[in-house]
């Protein structure tokens, strides 16, 4: 007899499975317990110490009975949930909760002793709490023996408010698992430390094995060994080649397992079909991570994508991180490491900037440009297909890396933009991040890079970069222009610029360029065509001392047969001592010419205070303007929007859930539902009443006490500037008849006009606020002046919630049409605070409800005394996959495949 489907236990959601990073930077796998885990559970339990077993069960329990195994492995993923942590095919930890009362569950963990101290219990608690919240549970309770300090610490340090009680020799801990700022902060702090730790070993390995090292010249394996040796790597280098006794003077080993010492990093340069065997060898050896130079993966098509998913899944399941495949490699210029683990023959000088890119071919060109400009780098990563290690991981590491003062990113795709935005925003508060993003207009994604589809316009991604304080530029040349300024000169305090030079023509070019990018030229000093060094020094000292000047542009074009060395010495001396940035167009040189360099304290040529030079004065101005914008962003006060205690989030969820219960495939909300949804967040929608005849319109007018409007609401009419579709100030039946007849005469098909009657709102500027749930970004909010012309010109501002005060303020002010809100041509300014309040409430609503697929406040009148929401529509739909930035730590997904056992 078959089981009744209505009583079948629910299946665990797929997103409960995740690759995770442990405290030491190694990887593991979390997934729900399965019935076929019985043998794994028994083996796991046999490796756990008696002490740990006693702490878990409060009594000696040396083995699990068959009944225990059955009970522990058969859960319903609802009232009884169990998660296991796997390393390879071995279970190393298990955590579970059992519902003991409505909304409350008892939670417990057991971690294999040799894996204590790796943060596994904290990870299990995070993932169990997320699963419990999804099942309607809001409170955990745990019973712990008083001397089990490790477990007590796990609960107390999770960021929840823990209440304890003591009875019969047992401590009872109780706490709400609803996310709080503290618990989220704790989780993200742990995420930051684990991801930084996973990258640290790549940059500072004590030993490297080159797997695929070759004796043949001009092979990848030979180049890798040669570059490591030529760079004078301070660690140990091992060659792995089963068919050679030695490679480049190094003894060769048949496999990485034959190497007698520990190996931190393996560089893999073998055919793609052989990489899987290398993963297993490296896992058995205890290698931390692999740099896979080998190609033949996702960049080659579907077969390669499957091979890549298998490679990454296998690596993570055995605790390995992976850079690549199809990578150029990794470089660290620190003299204590001196590592060129890449295919590039160029080892850049030591500098202050770190660089991340994805394309291997482009990586070589980037290193050439860095070398030619004399910029210098701290570290460099070319991640190829970016299958595992990504820009997010590198940002986590560089945030705490003191030698890195500037971060450079060349991005071809962004797999998790919400996380990227969050991390980049935090990093930008400490050090500037400069990014070039390919596919900016086309939204193209290179072969080998798997990301979710995007529904939001390209402007939303640009807005995300601005929101995070990222300096976004269009080309690599502009990136280096900005980087050399940030690496050597202080940040400007404002937009005021002085120009000092010996050419009227170039001075005018600089002034025009400055005006075009929003800089204010407050001083312009033109010296003679043949100025002396003293003339330049006096002029520079004068403008730098001027309190009305924030930065200085120096232009020097020498007369014939003059080297300009004396002027260069002056520029270098002033640049070293000035607390205001100094940029130059000196001899048309590019980069930091030798003459303008200031020796670093440690002897590096890339010294602080060196004066960057640009071949064209316009390039200098553009670079300075980018740095000014970053400085302004950095100095703009920021903080969360005002607390919203009056928000009824549960009430809004009830509206959405009720609609989805009736329409599982999604639906548009009716006017009553929209009003209830927005009302839960303090947004009042002016009611409107559909009317199909003049008599009905007159009846509604009487009911509302007149002073009403009659308007057509069909989309084709309300977006037509050439048609009058609204009749205002109607106060009587005759006026309603006149309005009805006039509109029907103008409109070709009155029966489809969608006439409504509404109270007359106070005058104001029409604005619109929209939000949507994007598969890539999650929630996206936009703001703009209403009207088809504005939409046609795409004059809207975008942000990714959650929003800060700075974000909301910038949204209102950054549009070209924003002067309409601030008293344009003598009009009365609108209540901007009320507009900002409305934006912040819509952003919070969209952030709280992923099921809200779209919300459109298409007509809001912003007046001098507040806002009136006249038209609002909303659509809801079930979420097919969770947002990419949940309240748990998890590594990026491997789309379209399962993790190999």
Task: Name residues whose C-beta falls within 8 Å of residue 314's C-beta, 6 or more positions apart in sequence.
Answer: 276, 279, 280, 900
Query: Model confidence over 543-563: pLDDT tens digits?
Result: 999 999 999 999 988 775 566
Residue 9 pLDDT:
52
Q: What pLDDT band is residue 8 in, cutting at 50, 70 and 90?
A: low
Q: What is the DSSP string of 403-425?
A: T--EEEEEES--S-HHHHHHHHH
Average confidence (pLDDT) over 84-99: 97
Mean residue pLDDT across the chain: 90
Phi, psi values for residue 366, rounded to 5°:
-65, -45
Report yes or no: 211 and 256 within 8 Å, Cβ to Cβ: yes
Residues 6+ away with beta carbon under 8 Å from 303: none
What's the pLDDT score for residue 816? 93
Omega before 201 within 30 of 0, i.e. cis: no
Q: Which of 89-93, 374-378, 559-563, 753-757 has the lowest mean pLDDT?
A: 559-563
186 CB-near residues (< 8 Å, 6+ apart) = 157, 158, 159
Confidence of residue 598 (pLDDT cuts 50, 70, 90): confident
Rounded Cα distance between 880 and 886, Å, is: 14
Q: Is the peptide bond before 195 cis (omega within 30 degrees of 0)?
A: no
CA gap 425, 465 in Å, rounded? 9
Q: What is the pLDDT of residue 600?
A: 63
Give the pLDDT confidence score for residue 643 in this predicted structure: 61
| 356, pLDDT greater than 60 | yes
Mean pLDDT of 732-750: 90
The answer to whether residue 1 scores a pLDDT higher than 70 is: no
Q: What is the pLDDT of residue 413?
A: 80
Residue 306: pLDDT above 80? yes
Which letter does DSSP use for residue 489 in this model? S
Task: In whole angstroms, give the CA distance from residue 238 to residue 207.
Answer: 8
HSE-CB at 852 with a 13 A cutoff on CA atoms is 29
Tell me what pLDDT residue 620 has. 95
Q: What is the pLDDT of residue 896?
A: 41
Is pLDDT at 426 greater than 70 in this prediction? yes
Q: What is the mean pLDDT of residues 236-260?
A: 91
Q: Looking at residues 614-641, what average pLDDT do you find?
A: 91
More confident residue, 897 or 29: 29
**pLDDT in the model for residue 78:** 94
pLDDT at 430: 95
Query: What integer pLDDT is reported at residue 560 of this predicted model?
Result: 58
Q: What are 551's two structure tokens?
A: 């930065």
Asked if 773 and 854 touch (Cβ cutoff 8 Å), the reply is yes
* pLDDT for res 719: 56
Residue 321: phi and psi, rounded to 5, are -95, 155
pLDDT in tens, 122-166: 999 999 999 999 999 999 999 999 999 999 999 999 999 999 998
The pLDDT-based confidence of 686 (bands split at 50, 70, 90) is very high
8 A C-beta contact, residue 488 and residue 544: no
Q: Which helix (H) or strand (E) is 267 found in, with range?
A: strand 265-268
Predicted confidence band at 3 (pLDDT cuts at 50, 70, 90)? very low
- pLDDT tier, 776 (very low <50, low <70, confident <90, very high otherwise): confident
pTM: 0.90
pLDDT > 90? residue 645 = no
- Predicted confidence (pLDDT) at residue 596 exceeds the cutoff of 50: yes
Q: How many CB atoms lie within 10 A of CB 743?
A: 21
pLDDT value, residue 562: 62
pLDDT digits (tens, 9 = 90+) for 360-404: 778 888 898 888 888 899 999 999 999 999 999 999 999 999 999
The per-residue b/e assignment along 677-705, b for 16 or more CB within 10 angstroms, e otherwise, is: bbebbebebbebbebeebeebbbbbeebe
pLDDT at 880: 75
622 in Cβ contact with 515 (< 8 Å): no
Judged against a pLDDT cut of 80, whether residue 692 lies above it is answered with: yes
pLDDT at position 452: 54
CB 331, CB 339: distance < 8 Å: yes
| Higher pLDDT, residue 378 or 457 | 378
The DSSP secondary-structure symbol of 613 reads B
CB contact at 8 A, 613 and 586: yes
How would you class 744 by CB atoms within 10 Å of its CB: exposed for 0-12, middle for 13-18, buried for 19 or more? middle
Predicted confidence at residue 752, as pLDDT, reads 84
For residue 429, name the pLDDT band (cuts at 50, 70, 90): very high
Q: Which of 710, 718, 719 is nearest to 744 (CA)?
A: 710
Tell me the two tokens of residue 70: 């059955």
pLDDT of 2 strictly over 70: no
Strands (E), 443-562: 471-473, 496-501, 520-526, 551-556
Tokens 């005759």 -> residue:
734
**pLDDT of res. 895:** 46
Cβ 666 vs Cβ 878: under 8 Å: yes
The dihedral built from the CA positions of residue 653, 657, 659 and 664, taken in this order, carries a sign that is positive
Where does residue 306 rank: exposed (0-12), middle (13-18), buried (19+ CB within 10 A)? middle
Share of residues in the chain with pLDDT > 90 (%): 74
Give the model's pLDDT for residue 605.
44
715: number of Cβ within 10 Å: 9
Token pair in block for residue 798 = 């975008």
Kindly state the average pLDDT of the residues 502-531. 93
Q: What is the pLDDT of residue 794?
A: 87
Structure tokens of 411?
């991005």
N-terminal to C-terminal alpha carbon distance within the chain: 34
> What is the structure's pLDDT at 231?
95
pLDDT band at 606, cuts 50/70/90?
low
């Amino acid at each position: 007899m078959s089981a009744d489907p209505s009583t079948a236990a629910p299946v665990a959601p797929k997103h409960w499975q995740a690759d995770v990073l442990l405290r030491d930077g190694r990887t593991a796998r979390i997934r729900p317990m399965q019935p076929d885990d019985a043998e794994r559970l028994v083996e796991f339990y046999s490796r756990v110490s008696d002490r740990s077993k006693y702490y878990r069960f409060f009594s000696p329990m040396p083995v699990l009975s068959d009944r225990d195994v059955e009970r522990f492995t058969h859960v319903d993923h609802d009232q009884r949930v169990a998660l296991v942590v796997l390393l390879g095919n071995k279970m190393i930890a298990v955590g579970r909760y059992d519902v003991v009362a409505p909304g409350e569950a008892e939670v417990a963990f057991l971690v294999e002793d040799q894996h204590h101290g790796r943060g596994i219990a904290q990870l299990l608690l995070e993932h169990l709490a997320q699963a419990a919240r999804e099942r309607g549970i809001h409170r955990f309770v745990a019973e712990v023996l008083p001397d089990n300090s490790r477990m007590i610490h796990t609960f107390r340090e999770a960021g929840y408010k823990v209440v304890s009680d003591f009875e019969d020799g047992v401590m009872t801990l109780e706490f709400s698992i609803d996310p709080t700022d503290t618990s989220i902060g704790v989780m993200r702090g742990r995420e930051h430390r684990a991801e930084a730790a996973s990258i640290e070993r790549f940059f500072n390995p004590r030993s490297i094995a080159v797997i695929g090292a070759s004796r043949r010249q001009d092979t990848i394996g030979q180049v890798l060994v040669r570059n490591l040796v030529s760079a004078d790597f301070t660690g140990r280098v091992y060659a792995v080649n089963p068919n050679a006794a030695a490679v480049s003077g190094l003894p060769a080993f048949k496999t990485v397992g034959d190497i007698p010492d520990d190996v931190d990093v393996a560089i893999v340069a073998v055919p793609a079909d052989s990489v899987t065997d290398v993963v297993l060898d490296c896992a058995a050896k205890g290698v931390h991570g692999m740099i896979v130079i080998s190609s033949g993966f996702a960049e080659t098509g579907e077969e390669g994508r499957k091979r890549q998913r298998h490679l990454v899944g296998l690596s993570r399941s055995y605790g390995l991180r992976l850079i690549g495949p199809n990578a150029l490699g990794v470089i660290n210029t620190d003299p204590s490491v001196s590592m060129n683990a890449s295919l590039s023959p160029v080892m850049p000088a030591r500098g202050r900037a770190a660089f991340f890119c994805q394309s291997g071919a482009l990586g070589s060109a980037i290193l050439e440009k860095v070398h030619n400009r004399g910029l210098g780098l701290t570290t460099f990563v070319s991640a190829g297909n970016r299958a595992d290690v990504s820009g997010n991981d590198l940002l986590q590491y560089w945030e705490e890396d003191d030698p890195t003062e500037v971060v450079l990113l060349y991005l071809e795709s962004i797999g998790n933009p919400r996380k990227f935005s969050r991390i980049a925003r935090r990093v930008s508060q400490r050090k500037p991040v400069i990014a070039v993003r390919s596919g900016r207009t086309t939204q193209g994604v290179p072969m080998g890079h798997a990301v979710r589809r995007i529904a939001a316009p390209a402007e939303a991604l640009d807005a995300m970069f601005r929101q995070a304080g990222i300096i976004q530029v269009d080309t690599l040349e502009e990136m280096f222009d900005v980087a050399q300024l940030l690496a050597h000169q202080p940040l400007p305090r404002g937009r005021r610029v002085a120009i000092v030079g010996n050419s009227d023509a170039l001075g005018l070019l600089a002034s025009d360029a400055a005006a075009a990018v929003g800089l204010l030229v407050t001083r312009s000093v033109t010296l003679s065509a043949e100025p002396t060094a003293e003339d330049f020094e006096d002029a520079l000292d004068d403008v730098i001392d001027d309190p009305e000047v924030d930065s200085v542009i120096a232009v020097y074009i020498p007369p014939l047969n003059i080297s300009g060395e004396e002027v260069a010495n002056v520029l270098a001396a002033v640049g070293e001592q000035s607390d205001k940035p100094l940029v130059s167009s000196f001899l048309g040189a590019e980069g930091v010419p030798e003459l303008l360099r200031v020796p670093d304290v440690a002897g590096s040529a890339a010294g602080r205070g060196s004066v960057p030079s640009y071949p064209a004065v316009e390039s200098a101005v553009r670079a300075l303007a980018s740095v000014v914008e970053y400085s302004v962003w950095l100095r703009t006060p920021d903080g969360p929007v005002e607390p919203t205690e009056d928000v009824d989030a549960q009430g809004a969820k009830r509206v959405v859930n009720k609609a989805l219960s009736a329409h599982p495939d999604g639906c548009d909300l009716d006017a009553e539902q929209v009003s209830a949804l927005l009302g839960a967040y303090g947004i009042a929608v002016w009611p409107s009443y559909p009317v199909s005849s003049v008599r009905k319109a007159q009846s509604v007018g009487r009911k509302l006490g007149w002073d009403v409007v009659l308007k057509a609401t069909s989309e084709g009419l309300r977006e037509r500037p050439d048609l009058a579709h609204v009749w205002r100030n109607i106060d009587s039946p005759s006026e309603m008849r006149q309005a009805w007849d006039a509109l029907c005469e103008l409109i070709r098909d009155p029966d489809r006009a969608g006439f409504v009657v509404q109270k007359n709102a106070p005058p104001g500027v029409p604005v619109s606020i929209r939000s949507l749930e994007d598969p890539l970004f999650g929630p996206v909010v936009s703001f703009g002046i209403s009207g088809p012309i504005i939409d046609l010109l795409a004059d809207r501002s975008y942000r990714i919630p959650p929003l800060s005060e700075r974000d909301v303020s910038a949204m209102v002010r950054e549009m070209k049409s924003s002067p309409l809100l601030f008293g344009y041509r003598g009009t009365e300014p609108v209540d901007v605070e009320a507009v900002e309040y409305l934006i912040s409430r819509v952003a919070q609503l969209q952030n709280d409800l992923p099921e809200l697929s779209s919300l459109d406040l298409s007509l809001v009148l912003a007046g001098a005394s507040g806002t009136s929401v006249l038209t609002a529509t909303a659509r809801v739909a079930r979420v097919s996959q969770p947002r990419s930035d949940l309240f748990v730590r998890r590594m990026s997904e491997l789309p379209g495949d399962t993790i190999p056992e």
